[in-house]
Amino acid sequence: MGQAVDVHRLHFAFTVTFHYIFPQLTMGLALLLVYLKTKALRTGDEHYHRAARFWARIFGINFALGVVTGIPMEFQFGTNWAAFSKAAGGVIGQTLAMEGVFSFFLESSFLGLFLFGERKLGRVGHWAAAFLVFLGSWLSGYLIVATDAWMQHPAGYRIGADGAIELSSFWSLLLNKWALWQYAHTMLGAVQTGCFVMAGVGAFYLLTKRDEVYGRTFVRGGVLVGTVAAILQLFPTGDMQGKLVAYNQQPTLAAMEGLFESQAGAPLAILGQPDVEKRKLDNPLEVPNMLSFLTYRQWRANIKGLSDFPQTEWPDQIPLLYYGYHVMVGLGTIFIAVMVLASLLEWRGKLYDSRWMLWLLMLCVPLPYIANTAGWMTAELGRQPWLIYGLMRTASGISPRVAAGNAWFTLIGFMGMYTVLAMLWLFLIYREIQLGPEPGEHLQKDHAAVLAAD
C-alpha cells in the first residue's frame, strides 16, 4: 500500500464510493417524485402534493451532497490519472463534457424552480419542473455509465499517430451495447434504493402511529415500483450484464465465481471463501452445473477457470471481487423476496397491518446501498488489471509526477471532510423525517419550545 498507484486507486475508490451514496437516492427519488406529482395532478388530492413536498426536501439535501462530492470525481481524472486522461481524454472527455452541458445545466436550473417555485409555476409547471429534474439526473447517469462502459468494453476508437486514443465513431461510443445494459442495471439499482427508502420511511410512520395516511402512500408507492425494479434487476438486466462479462472478460467471470479450474458443468458458488494461494474455494456450498447453464444455457458447457489464464491477466483483488459479486447477488435475491411478499400482502389488503413486514421494510433501508456499492466494486475490480480493458493497464494510467505522499495528504483530507458530511447528512435527513410531511404543526411546537427556552 505504499506505491503511488495503490494510493491513487484508493483515493478514487473512496471518493467515488462515498459520492455514489447520494446519486443513487437522487435518481431513484427523482422517478418517485414524478410518480407522486403525477398522482397529485391526476387526482387533485392535496395529500399527494404534500407527500411530494416532503420528499422534495429530502431530495434537496441529498442532491446538494451529490453535487459537492461529484465535482471531485471529474477533477480526479486529471489530478490523479493524468496519463490515462492524456491517452483517452479525447474519447471519454466527450461523454463527460456532454454530462456537464446537457444534464447538469438542466438539473441545476430546474431543481431551484422545483424546490422553491411551486407557487410561481402552478400545478402543471411544477410537474414539468419535477420531470425535467428527473430527465437531467437520468441523462447524467447514462453519460457516466457510458464513460465507464467504454473503459470496460472500448468501442468507436482508433489509435492515432502519436499513440493517443482517438474517437473514430461518436455513436459507437454513445450506443455501446455494454453501456445500454449497464445503464439499465445501474438505474434499477438506484430505483430500488429510492423505493426501499420511501417504503422504509412509510413503515416507520405506520409503526410509530404518526402521519399514517402518508405512511400508507409511501409504503404502497415504494413496494409497487420496487417489486418491478427488483425483478428487472435480476432478469433481463443482471443476466445480460453477466453474459457480457462472460463473453468479453473471461478471467473476470472466473474470479467473480471463485472458479480456479476449468470445468464442464461448472457449479455456482453460493458460499465459500476463495484461497488464492492454494487456488481453491474453502467450504464451498455450490449448485452443480448452474454457472454453465446461466452463462451458456447448457448444463454441461465448459467454463474456463483462472488457471487457464496467465496470472498477469487475473484481477488483482480476487477475494474482494468475489465478495462484491456475491453480496450484490445475495442481496438482490433477498430484495425480490421481500418486495414480492410485500406486494402479495398489499394485494390481499393486509400490508399495513402486517407489523413484521413493516419492520422488515424499515430494516431493509441500508441494504440497497450496500448492494449498489458491491455491484460497482464488482464492475471496477473485475476490470482490473486493466484501466481500459485490453488497452491500458491501471498502473500506467496514474499521474507520473504526483507522489504517493501528496496523494495520501489529499486522501486523508477527503476522509476527514466526508466523515463530517456523512454525519451532517444523517442528522439533517433524520430531522426531516422527524418533522414529517406536515411540518407546520411540528414547527409551531419547535418555536414554542424555543420561546419557552428563551
Partner 1 sequence: MGTIWFWLVAIMIAIYVLLDGFDLGAGAIHLLVAKTDEERRQVLASIGPVWDGNEVWLIAAGGTLYFAFPTLYASAFSGFYLPLMIVLWLLILRGASIEFRNHIKSAVWHPFWDFLFCASSLLLAVFLGTALGNVVRGVPLDASGYFFEPLWTNFRLGDETGILDWYTILVGVLALLALMMHGGLWVQMKTSGEVNARAARLAGRAWWGVVVLTALVTAFTFRIQQQVRENLTTWPWGLAFPLVAVAGIAGVIFELRKHDECKAFFASCAYLTGMLTSVVFGVYPMVLPARNPVYSLTVATAKAGDYGLKIGLSWWILGIILAAGYFAYVYRSFEGKVVVDKESHRYGD
Residues 67-106 that bind partner 1 (CB under 8 A): 67-69, 71-72, 74-75, 77-80, 82-83, 85-94, 96-102, 104-106
* Block residue for cell numbers 413503515: 203
Least Å from the CB of residue 75 to partner 1:
6
User: Binding partner 1 by CB under 8 A: which of 110, 205, 314, 389?
Assistant: 110
> What are the grid coordinates assigned to 34, written together?
414524478
Across-strand partners of 282? 273
User: Binding partner 1 by CB under 8 A: which of 64, 207, 301, 320?
Assistant: 64
- Decide whether 94 or 137 has the Cβ nearer to partner 1: 94
Q: Under rule CB under 8 A, how many of the chain's residues touch partner 1?
A: 72
Least Å from the CB of residue 35 to partner 1:
23
Least Å from the CB of residue 421 to partner 1:
7
DSSP state of 101: I
List of residues 6+ apart from 285 with CB closer than 8 A: 269, 270, 271, 272
Q: Would you count residue 192 as binding partner 1 (CB under 8 A)?
A: no
Q: Would you count residue 399 as binding partner 1 (CB under 8 A)?
A: yes
- 268: three-class secondary structure by DSSP: strand
**Is residue 14 exposed (0-12), middle (13-18) or buried (19+ Cβ within 10 Å)?**
middle
- Decide whether 282 or 441 has the Cβ nearer to partner 1: 441
- Decide whether 98 or 360 has the Cβ nearer to partner 1: 98
Q: Name which of residues 21 to 60 contact partner 1 (CB under 8 A).
A: 60
Q: Where are the alpha helices (DSSP H) in 99-156?
A: 105-116, 118-152
Of 255-263, 309-317, 359-367, 443-451: span binding partner 1 (CB under 8 A)? 443-451
Q: Name which of residues 151 to 170 contact partner 1 (CB under 8 A).
A: 160, 164, 166-168, 170
Least Å from the CB of residue 444 to partner 1:
11
- Decide whether 209 or 401 has the Cβ nearer to partner 1: 401
The answer to whether the beta carbons of residues 36 and 224 sit under 8 Å apart is no
- Decide whether 68 or 271 has the Cβ nearer to partner 1: 68
Least Å from the CB of residue 388 to partner 1:
14
- In terms of Cα–Cα distance, which of 301, 319, 310, 309 is closest to 258? 319
Q: Name which of residues 404 to 433 contact partner 1 (CB under 8 A).
A: 406, 409-410, 413, 417, 421, 424, 428, 431
- Decide whether 18 or 325 has the Cβ nearer to partner 1: 18
| Residue 423 CB neighbours (<10 A) | 10
Least Å from the CB of residue 147 to partner 1:
11
Sign of CA dihedral 272, 278, 280, 282: negative
Least Å from the CB of residue 225 to partner 1:
27
Burial 386-417 (b: 16+ CB within 10 A, else e): bbbbeebebbebbbeebebeebbebbeebeee
The answer to whether the beta carbons of residues 334 and 367 sit under 8 Å apart is yes
The answer to whether the beta carbons of residues 161 and 136 sit under 8 Å apart is no
- Decide whether 228 or 417 has the Cβ nearer to partner 1: 417
Say how far apart CA 167 and CA 147 lie, in whole Å: 13
Least Å from the CB of residue 33 to partner 1:
17
Q: Name which of residues 198 to 257 contact partner 1 (CB under 8 A).
A: none
- Decide whether 79 or 307 has the Cβ nearer to partner 1: 79
Q: How far is CA 4 from CA 170, 371, 389, in A?
A: 34, 29, 21
- Decide whether 264 or 443 has the Cβ nearer to partner 1: 443
Least Å from the CB of residue 447 to partner 1:
8
Across-strand partners of 392? 388
